[in-house]
Amino acid sequence: MGDAREGGTASVDGTWSADPYARALRTGRGPLFLRRADGWLLPLELERWCAAADAADLEVLRRCEGAVLDVGCGPGRLVAALGARGRRVLGIDVSDAAVARTVALGGQALRRSVFESLPGEGRWGTALLIDGNIGIGGDPTALLTRTRQLLAPGGLLIAETVTDPDLDERVRVHVTDARGAVGDPFPWARLGTPALLRYADRADWTRVDQWTAGGRSFVALRRRTTKSTAEAPKSTAVTSSQRARKPSGDRPVAEA
Q: Kindly indicate the confidence band of residue 180, based on its pLDDT and cuts at 50, 70 and 90.
A: confident
Domain extents in the chain: 54-169+189-235+243-250
- What was the pLDDT predicted at 1? 64
Structure-model confidence comparison of residues 252 and 41, the more confident one: 41
Structure-model confidence comparison of residues 10 and 222, the more confident one: 222
- The mean pLDDT of 226-246, rounded to a whole number, is 38
Backbone φ, ψ for residue 78 (5° rounding): -75, -40
Q: Kindly indicate the confidence band of residue 245, based on its pLDDT and cuts at 50, 70 and 90.
A: very low
DSSP string, the chain: --GGGTT-SS-HIIIIISTTHHHHHHHT---EEEEETTS-EEE--HHHHHS---HHHHHHHHT--SSEEEET-TT-HHHHHHHHTT--EEEEES-HHHHHHHHHTT--EEE--TTS--TTTTTEEEEEE-TTGGGGGG-HHHHHHHHHHHEEEEEEEEEEEBS-TT-EEEEEEEEEETT--B---EEEEEEBHHHHHHHHHHTTEEEEEEEEETTEEEEEEEE--SS-SPPPPPPTT--GGGSPPTTGGGS-SS--
Contacts of 235 (CB under 8 A, 6+ apart): 137, 139, 141, 142, 145, 146
List, for residues 87-140, the tens digit of each pLDDT value.
Answer: 999 999 999 999 999 999 999 999 999 999 999 999 999 999 999 999 999 999
Question: b/e per residue, 228-256, with b = 16+ CB within 10 A?
Answer: eeeeeeeeeebbebbebeeeebeeebeeb
- What was the pLDDT predicted at 40? 92
Terminal CA-CA length for the chain: 21
List, for residues 188-229, the tens digit of each pLDDT value.
Answer: 999 999 999 999 999 999 999 999 999 999 999 999 876 544
Topology classification of domain 54-169+189-235+243-250: Rossmann fold (3.40.50)
- What was the pLDDT predicted at 256? 39
- What was the pLDDT predicted at 226? 62
Structure-model confidence comparison of residues 9 and 176, the more confident one: 176
- What was the pLDDT predicted at 179? 85
Q: Is the pLDDT of residue 237 over 60?
A: no
Enter the pTM of the model: 0.84
Lowest mean pLDDT among 13-17, 60-64, 178-182: 13-17
Q: Is the pLDDT of residue 157 over 80?
A: yes
- What was the pLDDT predicted at 9? 31
